[in-house]
Amino acid sequence: MDNRENLLDIALSLFSQRGYEGVGVQEIVETAGVTKPTLYHYYDSKRGLLDTLLKREEGRLLSSVLQASVYKRDIVYTLENIVRAYFDASKSHPDFYRMQIAMLFAPPESDSHLAILPFVSQQYEIIEEVFIQAVQDHGNLRGRHKRYASGFLGTINAMIGLSLEGELDLTKELVYLTVHQFLHGIFS
């Protein structure tokens, strides 16, 4: 009966279904079986609740991506690790992953976007660094790290998007196929 933690769980579930802006504080506390002052005792605002929630959930994903992104002079191996990290994250916490994407593409000035941006930016920078490191072994990648990091994440999210709609399974083969297609194109 930990109200503090329970409120986070309830909020995650509601936010991922209908969005941060689309869920009222009243609904959160009612679903959790408490009243408003209880929520405002633990968190100083609705936004504060969201920030705490994101810190908890993003921490897991971020450390997973960070671990997968260590470049040991094998670009195929590293990229496969990254794809696997993202696929695993979206499989074990699909609601949260959906919410992360929705918040990223929310209007630039919205609380949603502003709250998620630092976390997603970190992810992006970690991936970008891989392509920067890879230049030492693949000179022709030089100067294109922005495009590659963005395109790679775009491809990953396209696959995850399909799987969230039930159109696709995030299998081991798909990890290989995704990386292979990114590196060698759809013709090879």
Applying CB under 7 A, the residues found at the interface with DNA are 1, 3-4, 23-27, 33-38, 40-42, 44-47
Least spacing, CB of residue 110 vs DNA, in Å: 13
Q: Does the footprint of a copy of itself cover residue 117 (CB under 8 A)?
A: no
User: Are 171 and 101 contacting, i.e. CB atoms less than 8 angstroms apart?
Assistant: no
Closest to DNA by CB, 111 or 129: 111
Closest to a copy of itself by CB, 32 or 156: 156
Q: Does the footprint of a copy of itself cover residue 19 (CB under 8 A)?
A: yes
CA–CA separation, 74 and 23 (whole Å):
45
Phi-psi region of 166 (alpha: psi -120 to 50; beta: other; left: phi over 0): left
Stretch that binds a copy of itself, among 32-40, 46-54, 64-72, 142-150 (CB under 8 A): 142-150
Instruction: Report H helices in 93-171.
Output: 94-104, 111-134, 145-164
Q: Does the footprint of a copy of itself cover residue 70 (CB under 8 A)?
A: no
CA–CA separation, 147 and 127 (whole Å):
11
Least spacing, CB of residue 7 vs a copy of itself, in Å: 20
Q: Does the footprint of a copy of itself cover residue 110 (CB under 8 A)?
A: yes
Integer angstrom CA distances of residue 157 from 112, 128, 173: 19, 16, 16
Q: Does the footprint of a copy of itself cover residue 155 (CB under 8 A)?
A: yes
Q: For 83-111, b where at least 16 C-beta lie within 10 A, e where not — what string? A: bbbbbebbeebebbbbbbbbbbebeeeeb
Phi, psi of 24 (to 5 degrees): -85, 155
One of 109, 143, 166, 173 touching a copy of itself (CB under 8 A) = 109
Closest to a copy of itself by CB, 126 or 141: 141
Residue with tokens 């929705």: 102
| Residues near a copy of itself (CB under 8 A) | 16-19, 21-22, 101-102, 104-110, 138, 140-141, 144, 146-148, 150-151, 153-155, 157-159, 161-162, 167-168, 177, 181-188
